[in-house]
Structure 1
Amino acid sequence: MVKLATRRQKYEEWERLCPKITKRVQVLCNESRSCRAFMSSPGEYEVVEGKSTLAVSLNQRTCLCNVWQLTGIPCRHAMRAILHEGLDPQSLVDDWYSVEKYKLAYHHNIKPIPDQDKWPATEHPTILPPVLKRGVGRPCRNRKRGDDEERKTKRSKTIKCGKCGDFGHNKASCKGGATKK
């Protein structure tokens, strides 16, 4: 309840967009300085950044890097095209970041709950947490692995027999395969 009330007080002084989004738009405007925009038709731009060239459409609110479509906030390429066009960058941010949508999210009230002593009595039995039993013996140090997981082994390579030179067994369990001599 307190959180909702403090948020209501905060958003009264906000403008069109939430403050974090406004800061993000300002950062993107600064980052767009490394880009150059060339108009191909009204609302359609070709933005060059370093060696890459991206197509930006202000009419459809799209950029070839897909950041604008995914987040709803214009990317730095789109910012360069918006600034070249002379438009307000905040006007092309999606409405989900507006103060009106924020107000709609937090406009509901939560009714205060009385103290537990004031709750009405019920006929249902009280539900208690399960009784915890400690297992017998010392607890495991290693976690129990699933059936599909690889088991942890001490040896990092396969065993080589010192008697015959074959792999897969040692000198003690050698059945007398080919000898080294």
Structure 2
Amino acid sequence: MKRVQVLCNENRSYRAFMSSPREYEVMEGKSTLSLSLNQHTCLCNVWQLTGIPCRHAMRAILHEGLDPQSFVHEWYLVEKYKLAYGHSIKPIPDQDRWPATEHPTILPPVIKRGVGRPCRNRKRSDDEERKGTRSKTIKCGKYEDFGHNKATCKGGAT
């Protein structure tokens, strides 16, 4: 219920336009998203994934003057929660009482340490971008010459 309240307040800058009965186009800045109140779908897919209307759908629901909580999926009802967790869960016995199996015991892999100090930089994959490297050319800040810097400058090109 709190999430629905927050969504009702978040979408004040959106504008909803009815394209057909219970079908809307909602403008969010320069982008336009289409949604269906009949099928409980929105182009952003948040409504389909979570079961809670997204902010675009909430704008259309409020535009039509309907109750937003009636569009929340039944998963979130208290009755469904009680049905899911109403049965007792039997405890698992201690590991000593587990039945024996004929399958071999799976052991963790052997850790193989390399020789020398470990590498400080992580190994990057082939498709990953490499770290940038500095140029080898030094430029003087005083005379704008290459080959030395401002601290070692002796008054001109070296």
Cα displacement (A) at 1:78: 0.2
1:41 to 11, 16, 20: 20
Cα displacement (A) at 1:105: 1.8
Q: Which residue of structure 2 lines up, in the alignment, with residue 53 of structure 1?
A: 32
Matches within 5 A, 1:22-171: 22-110=1-89
Larger relative CO (CA 8 A, sep 6+): 1 or 2? 1
1:129-170 deviation per Cα after TM superposition (whole angstroms, max 9, x unaligned): xxxxxxxxxxx898xx9xx9xxxxxxxxxxxxxxxxxxxxxx
Q: Which residue of structure 2 lines up, in the alignment, with residue 122 of structure 1?
A: none
Which TM-score applies when normalising by structure 2? 0.57
- Structure 1's consecutive aligned runs of 4 or more residues displaced over 2 angstroms after TM superposition are 110-113
* CA spacing shift, 1:112–1:26, aligned 2, 3 Å: same
1:87-124 deviation per Cα after TM superposition (whole angstroms, max 9, x unaligned): 111101111111112111210124689xxxxx9xxxxx
CA distance in 2 between counterparts of 1:50 and 1:98 reads 34
Aligned length in residues: 125
Which amino acid is 1:85 matched to? E
Question: What RMSD in Å do the two structures reach over aligned CA positions?
Answer: 4.0
* CA spacing shift, 1:70–1:112, aligned 2, 3 Å: closer
Which TM-score applies when normalising by structure 1? 0.51
| Structure 2: runs of 5 or more not aligned | 98-117, 127-158
Percent of paired sites with the same residue: 81
Greater Rg over alpha carbons, structure? 1
Which amino acid is 2:57 matched to? A
Q: Which has the higher helix share?
A: 1
